[in-house]
C-alpha cells in the first residue's frame, strides 16, 4: 500500500525474527540493501538449559497461571532474570552498529536503519516449538491451579536510529512508516498460532519505568484476550443488546455531539478526553470510520494519523510547565486498542489511548490503596480541565508563519534600482559628474544571475558532471567607464563599504572584502588580454554601483552573479566582444573564476561562473568538469521547461550558518583524491565511467551497476572512503539518469533521483545539516515530487520539485516545519531556468 516503504525481513543469530522497515529513498528503490547476517555468537534460544540440579532440561519458555479469583492470566517473567548476554553498560542494544567498528552486542546488525522490529531477547510471552497449545486445553478447573505455557510473542519496535530522539520529534513520513510497521506486525502476529490479541504500545519516560532511552515501543501477541479488552467487550455486548448500537462508535458520536472534550478533529481522526477519564492526563484518538484494527486503516487514514498523532504528542509535551516556565516532557503510555484476533471483532473498534501518571511537574499519581487494592479509581482532576488545557495548546495561526518569499526583480526594476543608486552615489553635478550630453560616457546596466544546481553535487572536483540552472534572481551593476584607471565601487548590500582603488594596484592579495570580486574581474581580464597578445590597459577604470536580489551565502552563488555582471560590463565597455559568443563567455567565466580564486581567495570550482554566463532560459546546463576539456565540449543545453510540465522548482534558503565548512570541504576532496590514487585512476570520474560501462548502460538500480561499483569499493581500505566514493560514482550516474529523463521530456519523473541524491549526500558524503534534512522531509511530506540539498552542504539551500499548484502549500509547510523545529525562518525562491548574464 505504501510505495515509500521497503520491508526487509531477516533472522538474528539465535533465530529471532528482525524486520527492517525503510523509507529512505536509496533503500526503497533497492539501490541500497540492509545487512542480513548477525555475527554474534548467540546460541539457539530453544536449546536445552541446565537446571539448578545440574541436569539438562528441555527449554520450556515462560509460564503463565490463571488467577482463579479474577479469571486473569498472569505470565511469570521470572526466567527473564536469567539473562545471559547483557549488553555492556555503556552500549545501547537498540543503537545501530558503529560504522567500521567490529560488530558487538547491539540487536540491530546494520549501521543504520529507519524503523526496525525484532523479537525481544527476553520475552515474557514466547511460543516454544512443540510446547505451544491453547491454554484452554490445559485448564484444570478442579485444582484451581491452572498453568500453561505463556506462549505468544514479544517484539520491540525501534522508532529511530537516533538514540536521543523521541517519537514526537519524528517526521510525519517516519511516523507513517511506524504505522505501517505496526499494521504489518498486527497482521503477522495475528497469524501466529495461539495469539488471541495484538497490542502495540509505547512507554515513554523514566517515570513509567523505562530503562532504555532509545525511542522504542513494544508489540505483544497475547495468547488470551486481555482483561481490559474483555471488560470492554462485555460492556459493548451489553450496550448492543440494550440499544442495538455499537458502543465505541456511539461513545465517539456522543463526544462529538457534546464537543467540550474534543481536543482536535481532522478529516479522518478525532481526539477527545473521555467523559470518565481516570488518569491525570488522558486522551483517546479514534478514527471516524469503523475500523477494527491498524491493518484495516486506509492509506489516507494512515497519513492523517501520522500528522494528527504528532500534533497530539506536541501538545502533550507542553501540558505541564516546570517552575522555570519550561515545558516538562510528559511521561506517557500510548496504548493501541485493537480488535482481538478472533473474539468479538464486530464489537471492537480501533483507538489509541494516551495517558500519563504525572499529575504535576515532579508529582506522580500513585496507584495506591483504592486503585491497586480495589481497582477503584479516583481522578485528581476533571476530564474537562484536561481537555481545556489540550485545546489551549492548539497551534495559533501566528505560530505557523507564512513562508517568506525572496522575489526576483524583472530587468526594468533591477536596472531602475541600480541606476538610482548610481545617481545617488555619484551625483551628476559632482566633481566627477556629467552625463552623456556633456561628453561623459553614459551609465550602462548589466545583470547576471545566481544559480542553483539540480543534481551533481561534490562531483566537480572529481571531474564529474553537474547540472545547474540560472536563477531569475540577478545581481545588477550600473557601470560608467572612466578615462583613467580609477575604480570606484559601492553596493546596496554593503552600505558604508564603498571602495576606491587603481587598476594597476589590483593583484592577488592586494584587495580584501567584497570589492575583491569586482576588481578581481578587471584584473583577470587584463591578464587574459596580456596572455592573448593584447594589453591589460584595454581595461579602463570605471565607477560602478551594485544592487542584487540574490541572497548572500545561501549556496546560490551571489559571488558569481557579482563577478559575471561585472565581467559582461567590462567586456562591453572595453569592446572585447566576448559575451557575444559562447566561446567568449567561457573566457569570461574563466576570468571570473580567477577573480574568485586568486583575488577574493575563495577556492571554488567553475560551475557557478559557467552557469551564470552560459545557461539558457528554459534549459539546464550539463557541465562536464573533466580538466582540459575544450570549453565548447564541456557544456550542453538540456531542455528543462518546468512551466510547460506544470512543475515548479522551489529553492529553500535555510539561512543556516555553519562553522568548520572549509576544513570539511578540503577533507572530502582529499579523501576522493586519495581513493582515486589507490585505484590507480586520475580521478573518480574514470571510475564512474568504467562502472557505468561495466553495467552496459543498465540503470543504476540494476545489479550489474552495484556489482561493478562493489568490486571497486572492495579495493578501498576503509568504510569512510568507500562511502565517499560511492556517493561520487552514484551521483555522476544519477546526473546522467536525470539528463536522460529530461531529454525524454519526463521532468516530472526525476523526483526519486533528487531524493536519492539527498540520501547519498546525507548518509554517504555526510555534508547535510539538520536544517537541510528538515527542509527536504517537510517538502516531500507536503507533496514535493523530490527534494535534495544543493550546493556544498552544512547549510545553504535545498531544492524541491513540486507540482506548480502546490508551490505555496509546500513552502508554507516547510516554513511551519522550521518553526516547529525551533529553526530560523527560511527564505523561498522560485527557480525558473532563466537567462544568463546580459546587458539590460
Residue numbers annotated as active site: 608
Q: Say what the alpha-carbon torsion angle 220, 225, 228, 230 is, to the nearest 10 degrees.
A: 170
- Is 146 a binding residue for ligand ADP by CB under 6 A? The answer is no
How many angstroms separate the Cα of 191 from the Cα of each of 41, 184, 198, 306, 344?
30, 11, 10, 26, 17
Q: Is 409 in the site for ligand ADP (CB under 6 A)?
A: no
Provide, rounded to whole angstroms, the least separation between the CB of residue 690 and ligand ADP.
Answer: 33
Which position among 602, 632, 698, 804 is part of the footprint of ligand ADP (CB under 6 A)?
A: 602
558 lies in the binding site for ligand ADP (CB under 6 A): yes
Return the ∠ at Cα 165 (arms to 160 and 171), rounded to 5°.
65
Our CB check for ligand ADP shows the closer of 221 and 795 to be 795
Contact code string over 425-464 relative to ligand ADP, x by CB under 6 A: ----------------------------------------
Instruction: Answer yes or no whether residue 548 interacts with ligand ADP by CB under 6 A.
Output: yes
Contact 298, 350 (CB under 8 A): no
Stretch that binds ligand ADP, among 195-203, 535-543, 551-559, 664-672 (CB under 6 A): 551-559
Q: Judged by CB, which is closer to ligand ADP: 107, or 771?
A: 771
Comparison of 556 and 706: residue with beta carbon closer to ligand ADP: 556
The binder of 555, among Mg ion, ligand ADP, none, by C-beta within 5 to 8 A per type, is ligand ADP
557 binds ligand ADP (CB under 6 A): yes
Instruction: Single out the residue of 530, 552, 696, 697 in contact with ligand ADP (rule: CB under 6 A).
Output: 552
Give me the least distance between CB of 560 and Mg ion, in Å please: 6
Residue 493 binding: pick among ligand ADP, Mg ion, none (C-beta 5-8 Å cut-off by kind): ligand ADP
Enumerate residues 470-489 that contact ligand ADP by CB under 6 A.
475
Ranges within 527-546 binding ligand ADP (CB under 6 A): 546
User: Which range of residues in 94-102, 161-169, 555-563, 726-734 is near ligand ADP by CB under 6 A?
Assistant: 555-563
The correct pick among 8, 226, 493, 637 for binding ligand ADP (CB under 6 A) is: 493
Q: What backbone torsions phi and psi does residue 651 show, to the nearest 5 degrees?
A: -105, 130
Q: Which is nearer to Mg ion, 320 or 517 (CB)?
A: 517
Q: Does 559 bind Mg ion (CB under 5 A)?
A: yes
Instruction: Output 332 or 499, the one with its CB closest to ligand ADP.
Output: 499
Q: Which is nearer to Mg ion, 174 or 474 (CB)?
A: 474
Backbone torsions φ then ψ of 143, nearest 5 degrees: -85, -10
Site pattern 498..537 for Mg ion (x: CB under 5 A): ----------------------------------------
**CA-to-CA distance for 422 and 412, rounded, in angstroms?**
15
Among the residue ranges 222-230, 559-567, 632-640, 662-670, the one whose residues contact Mg ion (CB under 5 A): 559-567
Q: Which is nearer to ligand ADP, 497 or 632 (CB)?
A: 497
Cell of 318: 507542553
What secondary structure, in 3-state letters, does 445-463 show?
EEEEEEEEECCCCCCHHHC
Listed ranges 161-169, 400-408, 558-566, 705-713: which one lies at the site for Mg ion (CB under 5 A): 558-566
Q: Toward ligand ADP, which CB reaches closer, 357 or 567?
A: 567
Spell out the residues 6+ positions from residue 634 whose beta carbon is closer than 8 angstroms to its own: 586, 610, 623, 624, 625, 626
> In 482-627, which ranges are E strands?
486-491, 499-502, 542-548, 619-624
Report the nearest approach of Mg ion to the CB of residue 516 (Å): 12
Q: Does the protein bind ligand ADP through residue 494 (CB under 6 A)?
A: yes
Any idea what the Cα angle at residue 162 is, between residues 108 and 125, rounded to 5°? 45
Count the residues of the shown chain that bind ligand ADP, applying the rule CB under 6 A. Answer: 18
CB 142 within 8 A of CB 112: no
517 contact, one of Mg ion, ligand ADP, none, CB 5-8 Å limit per kind:
ligand ADP
Half-sphere exposure of 395 (CA within 13 A, CB side): 15
662-678 CB burial, b ≥16 within 10 A, e <16: eebbeebeebbeebbee
Identify whether the C-beta of residue 125 lies closer than 8 Å to the C-beta of residue 221. Answer: yes
Q: Is 517 in the site for ligand ADP (CB under 6 A)?
A: yes
Instruction: Look at residue 491 and give the partner it binds from ligand ADP, Mg ion, none, a contact being a CB closer than 5 to 8 Å depending on partner kind.
Output: ligand ADP
Of 85 and 552, CB closest to ligand ADP? 552
User: In this structure, what are the phi and psi dihedrals at residue 351, rounded to the nearest 5 degrees?
Assistant: -160, 155
CA 674, CA 671: separation in Å to the nearest integer?
5
Query: What are the residues whose beta carbons fall under 8 Å from the beta carbon of 692, sequence distance 6 or more?
Result: 705, 732, 733, 736
Give Cα separations from 117 to 12, 36, 113, 200 (angstroms).
Answer: 12, 14, 10, 12
The answer to whether 556 and 829 have CB atoms below 8 angstroms apart is yes
For residue 585 the three cell numbers come to 563567455
Nearest residue (CB) to Mg ion, 607 versus 738: 607
Residue 609 binding Mg ion, by CB under 5 A = no
Angle at 303 between CA 300 and CA 308, to 5 degrees: 120
Find the shortest distance in angstroms from Cβ 652 to ligand ADP.
15
- Residue 553 contact partner, candidates ligand ADP, Mg ion, none, CB within 5 to 8 A by sort of partner: ligand ADP
Residue 682 to residues 178, 605, 674, 678, Cα–Cα distance (Å) = 45, 17, 10, 10
Q: Binding of ligand ADP at residue 553 (CB under 6 A)? A: yes
Helix 558-573 / helix 582-594 crossing angle, nearest 10 deg: 120
The vertex-833 CA angle with 831 and 837, nearest 5°, equals: 110
- Cβ 448 to ligand ADP, closest distance in Å? 10
φ, ψ at 540 (rounded to 5°)? -100, 175
By CB under 6 A, name the binding residues for ligand ADP. Answer: 475, 491, 493-494, 514, 517, 546, 548, 552-559, 562, 602
Binding site for Mg ion (CB under 5 A): 557, 559
Amino acid at each position: 500500500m505504501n510505495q515509500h516503504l521497503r520491508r526487509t525481513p531477516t533472522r538474528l543469530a539465535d533465530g529471532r525474527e528482525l524486520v527492517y522497515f525503510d523509507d529512505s529513498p536509496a533503500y526503497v528503490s533497492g539501490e541500497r540493501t540492509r545487512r542480513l547476517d548477525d555475527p554474534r555468537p548467540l546460541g539457539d534460544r530453544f536449546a536445552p538449559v541446565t537446571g539448578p540440579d545440574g541436569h539438562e532440561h528441555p527449554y520450556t519458555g515462560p509460564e503463565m497461571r490463571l488467577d482463579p479469583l479474577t479469571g486473569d492470566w498472569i505470565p511469570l517473567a521470572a526466567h527473564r532474570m536469567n539473562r545471559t548476554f547483557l549488553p555492556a553498560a555503556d552500549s545501547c542494544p537498540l543503537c545501530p552498529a558503529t560504522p567500521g567498528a567490529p560488530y558487538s552486542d547491539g540487536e540491530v546488525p546494520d549501521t543504520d536503519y529507519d524503523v526496525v522490529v525484532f523479537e525481544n531477547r527476553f520475552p515474557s510471552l514466547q511460543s516454544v516449538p512443540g510446547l505451544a497449545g491453547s491454554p484452554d486445553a490445559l485448564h484444570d478447573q478442579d485444582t484451581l491451579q491452572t498453568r500453561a505455557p505463556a506462549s505468544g510473542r514479544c517484539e520491540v519496535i525501534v522508532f529511530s536510529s537516533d538514540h536521543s530522539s523521541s517519537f514526537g520529534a519524528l517526521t510525519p513520513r517516519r511516523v507513517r512508516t511506524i504505522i505501517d510497521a505496526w499494521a504489518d506486525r498486527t497482521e503477522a502476529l495475528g497469524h501466529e498460532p495461539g495469539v488471541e490479541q495484538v497490542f502495540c504500545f509505547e512507554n515513554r519516560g523514566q517515570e513509567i519505568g523505562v530503562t532504555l532511552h532509545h525511542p522504542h515501543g513494544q508489540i505483544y501477541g497475547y495468547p488470551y484476550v486481555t482483561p481490559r479488552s474483555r471488560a470492554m467487550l462485555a460492556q459493548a455486548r451489553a450496550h448492543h443488546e440494550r440499544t442495538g448500537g455499537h458502543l465505541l462508535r456511539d461513545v465517539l458520536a456522543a463526544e462529538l455531539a457534546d464537543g467540550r472534550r474534543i481536543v482536535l478533529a481532522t478529516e479522518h481522526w478525532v481526539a477527545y478526553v473521555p467523559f470518565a477519564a481516570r488518569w491525570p492526563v488522558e486522551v483517546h484518538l479514534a478514527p471516524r470510520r469503523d475500523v477494527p484494527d491498524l491493518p484495516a486503516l486506509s492509506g489516507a487514514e494512515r497519513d492523517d494519523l501520522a500528522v494528527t498523532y504528532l500534533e497530539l504528542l506536541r501538545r502533550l509535551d507542553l501540558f505541564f510547565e516546570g517552575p522555570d516556565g519550561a515545558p516538562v516532557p510528559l511521561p506517557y503510555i500510548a496504548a493501541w486498542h485493537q480488535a482481538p484476533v478472533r473474539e468479538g471483532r464486530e464489537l471492537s473498534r480501533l483507538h489509541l489511548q494516551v495517558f500519563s501518571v504525572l499529575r504535576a511537574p515532579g508529582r506522580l499519581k500513585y496507584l495506591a490503596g483504592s486503585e491497586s487494592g480495589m481497582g477503584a479509581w479516583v481522578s485528581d482532576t476533571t476530564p474537562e480541565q484536561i481537555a481545556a488545557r489540550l485545546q489551549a495548546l492548539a497551534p495559533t495561526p501566528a505560530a505557523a508563519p507564512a513562508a517568506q518569499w525572496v522575489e526576483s526583480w524583472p530587468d526594468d526594476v533591477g536596472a531602475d534600482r541600480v541606476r538610482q543608486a548610481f545617481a545617488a552615489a555619484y551625483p551628476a553635478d559632482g566633481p566627477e559628474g556629467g552625463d552623456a550630453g556633456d561628453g561623459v560616457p553614459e551609465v550602462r546596466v548589466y545583470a547576471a544571475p545566481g544559480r542553483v544546481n539540480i543534481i551533481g553535487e561534490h562531483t566537480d572536483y572529481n571531474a564529474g558532471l553537474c547540472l545547474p540552472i540560472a536563477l531569475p534572481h540577478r545581481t545588477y551593476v550600473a557601470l560608467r567607464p572612466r578615462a583613467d584607471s580609477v575604480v570606484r565601487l559601492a553596493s546596496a548590500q554593503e552600505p558604508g563599504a564603498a571602495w576606491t582603488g587603481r587598476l594597476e594596484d589590483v593583484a592577488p592579495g592586494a584587495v580584501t572584502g567584497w570589492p575583491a570580486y569586482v576588481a578581481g574581474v578587471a584584473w583577470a581580464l587584463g591578464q587574459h588580454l596580456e596572455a592573448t597578445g593584447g594589453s591589460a590597459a584595454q581595461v579602463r577604470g570605471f565607477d560602478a554601483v551594485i544592487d542584487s536580489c540574490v541572497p548572500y551565502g545561501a549556496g546560490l552563488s551571489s559571488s558569481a552573479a557579482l563577478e559575471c555582471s561585472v565581467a559582461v560590463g567590462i567586456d562591453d565597455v572595453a569592446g572585447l566582444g566576448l559575451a557575444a559568443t559562447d566561446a567568449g563567455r567561457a573566457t569570461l567565466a574563466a576570468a571570473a573564476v580567477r577573480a574568485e580564486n586568486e583575488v577574493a581567495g575563495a577556492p571554488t570550482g567553475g560551475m557557478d561562473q559557467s552557469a551564470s554566463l552560459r545557461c539558457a532560459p528554459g534549459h539546464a546546463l550539463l557541465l562536464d568538469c573533466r580538466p582540459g576539456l575544450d570549453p565548447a565540449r564541456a557544456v550542453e543545453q538540456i531542455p528543462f521547461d518546468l512551466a510547460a510540465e506544470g512543475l515548479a522548482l522551489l529553492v529553500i534558503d535555510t539561512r543556516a550558518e555553519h562553522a568548520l565548512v572549509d576544513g570539511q570541504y578540503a577533507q572530502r576532496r582529499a579523501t576522493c583524491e586519495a581513493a582515486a590514487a589507490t585505484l590507480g585512476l586520475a580521478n573518480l570520474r574514470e571510475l564512474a565511467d568504467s562502472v557505468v560501462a561495466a553495467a552496459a548502460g543498465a540503470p543504476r538500480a540494476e545489479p550489474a551497476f552495484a556489482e561493478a561499483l562493489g568490486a571497486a569499493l572492495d579495493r578501498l581500505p576503509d568504510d569512510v572512503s568507500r562511502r565517499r566514493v560511492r556517493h561520487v560514482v552514484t551521483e555522476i550516474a544519477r546526473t546522467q539518469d536525470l539528463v536522460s529523463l529530461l531529454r525524454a521530456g519526463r521532468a516530472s519523473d526525476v523526483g526519486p533521483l533528487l531524493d536519492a541524491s539527498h540520501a547519498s549526500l546525507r548518509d554517504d558524503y555526510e555534508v547535510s545539516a539538520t536544517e537541510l534534512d528538515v527542509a527536504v522531509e517537510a517538502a516531500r511530506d507536503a507533496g514535493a515530487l523530490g527534494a535534495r540539498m544543493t550546493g556544498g552542504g552544512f547549510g545553504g539551500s535545498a531544492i524541491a520539485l513540486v507540482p506548480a499548484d502546490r508551490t505555496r502549500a509546500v513552502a508554507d509547510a516547510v516554513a511551519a516545519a522550521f518553526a516547529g523545529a525551533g529553526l530560523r525562518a527560511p527564505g523561498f525562491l522560485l527557480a525558473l531556468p532563466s537567462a544568463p548574464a546580459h546587458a539590460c
